[in-house]
Amino acid sequence: MAKRFRLNLSRKERRNLLLGLAFISPWIFGFLAFMVYPIYVSLRLSFSRYSGFGEPIWIGLENYRTLLGDGLFWQSLYNTLYYTALAVPMGVVASMIIALAMNQPVREVSIYRTILYLPSVLPIFALAFIFVWLMNPRYGLLNFILVQLGLPSINWLGDPAWAKFSIVLLAQLGAGQVALIYLAGLRAIPRDLYDAAKLDGAGVWRQFWHITLPLMTPVILYSVILGLTLGLQVFVQAYIMTEGGPNNSTLFYVYYLYQNGFQYSQMGYASAMAWVLFVISLILAMLVFRWSRRWVHYELS
């Protein structure tokens, strides 16, 4: 039978408790000041009209009702979900391919790992500026390659049909960071399984499909949740590269939230958008975790 919790602590237990609280007090203060309090304030502001100055005016659910009739809100939500639906699967595939390349038994593998990981170390704003040059419709490197292959050039950032996909391509430069986690997962798979599969006549593809992929599903689930979180919060790329254009095709959710809060001085409306994004993120995460029960394998069977 489990021991009941005792409130009457001894002197030594109280001393240890106070000493432990003293050690973690900086974290407790930071958590309350920079997490709990801002969350509480944003929730209160979401029911208010507030410009950032003066006192908030309580308006109830008016901000949320306004969201339902805001065309740009729905456009930004669609752009964000579209971006996430493309960037997350492509990121999983790119990370797996890079991890498999990093796991090859070649002499120069450490050099290759460094080269493949290096783009993910660069700040995202630096990569965005580089991509603006690479995707220039007149003298960009990508269009130069397309022309050399006999293909028509593309206005990557100026055509609404290609603008979101261009930012999806930029996101794949960060696949090297997740690939290191994939690499750790690959190295943790017992080599005996591959040796047994070879004795049974299984080729490289069958080994990957029946051994590598099932045992990597927990890592894949982690990367999907991480990619989902980052995808729903995409901001810097659109802010630097397109400013939401052309024709609002890259007006992502957080960028529109930023515009309302810091350009249009509608902090209450922006807070309501933030809470809607939180609910959407929570629902999608729950759906992914529920879906993962069908395909994630946490142990050998």
Output the tens digit of pLDDT for each of the chain's 301 residues: 445 555 677 888 889 989 999 999 999 999 999 999 999 999 999 999 999 888 999 999 999 999 999 999 999 999 999 999 999 999 999 999 999 988 888 888 888 888 888 888 888 888 898 889 999 988 889 999 999 999 999 999 999 999 999 999 999 988 888 999 999 999 999 989 998 999 888 888 999 999 999 999 999 999 999 999 999 999 999 999 999 989 999 999 999 999 999 999 999 999 999 999 999 999 999 999 999 999 998 876 5
Say how far residue 280 (Cα) sits from the centre of its chain: 14
245 assigned to some structural domain = yes
Q: How many domains does the chain have?
A: 2
Buried residues in 85-107 as b, exposed as e (16+ CB within 10 A): ebbbebbbebbbebbeebbeeee
CA distance 116 to 236: 22
Torsion over CA of 273, 229, 155 and 173, rounded to 10 degrees? 150
Furthest CA-CA distance within the chain:
82
Q: Which two tokens stand for residue 113?
A: 């790992």
Domain assignment present for residue 210? The answer is: yes
Q: What is the Cα–Cα distance from 102 to 180, expressed in whole angstroms?
A: 8
CA–CA separation, 123 vs 67, rounded Å? 33
Gyration radius of the chain's alpha carbons: 25
Same-domain status, 256 and 149: yes
Q: What is the dihedral of CA 100, 105, 107, 109, to 10 degrees?
A: 20
Nearest one of 227, 241, 204, 247 to 72, comparing CA atoms: 247
Q: In sequence order, what are the residues at sequence separation of 6 or more whose Cβ sits closer than 8 angstroms to the Cβ of residue 22?
A: none
Cβ neighbours for 266, distance < 8 A, ≥ 6 positions apart? 51, 260
Provide the residue range defining the domain that includes 284: 70-292
b vs e for 171-197, b when ≥16 Cβ sit within 10 Å of the residue's Cβ?
bbbbbbebbbebbebbeebeeeebeeb
The tokens for 29 are 């203060």
The pair phi, psi for residue 57, each rounded to 5°, is -105, 120
Asked whether residue 182 is domain-assigned, the answer is yes
Q: Tokens at residue 150, please?
A: 């006999």
Query: Does 55 reside within a domain?
Result: no
239 within 8 A of 255, measured Cβ to Cβ: yes
Task: Answer for the pair 75, 251: CB distance below 8 angstroms, yes or no.
Answer: yes
Q: Are residues 103 and 17 in the same domain?
A: no
Determine the pLDDT at residue 1. Answer: 44
Q: For residue 266, which phi and psi values (nearest 5 degrees)?
A: -115, 70
pTM, two decimals, is 0.89
Q: Are residues 174 and 218 in the same domain?
A: yes
For residues 124 and 169, state if they share a domain.
Answer: yes
Whether residues 33 and 151 share a domain: the answer is: no
Q: How many CB atoms lie within 10 A of CB 48?
A: 19
Q: Is residue 183 one of the residues assigned to a domain?
A: yes
Q: Verify that 23 and 128 share a domain, yes or no.
A: no
Q: Which residue has the tokens 């929570």?
A: 282
22 with 141, same domain: the answer is no
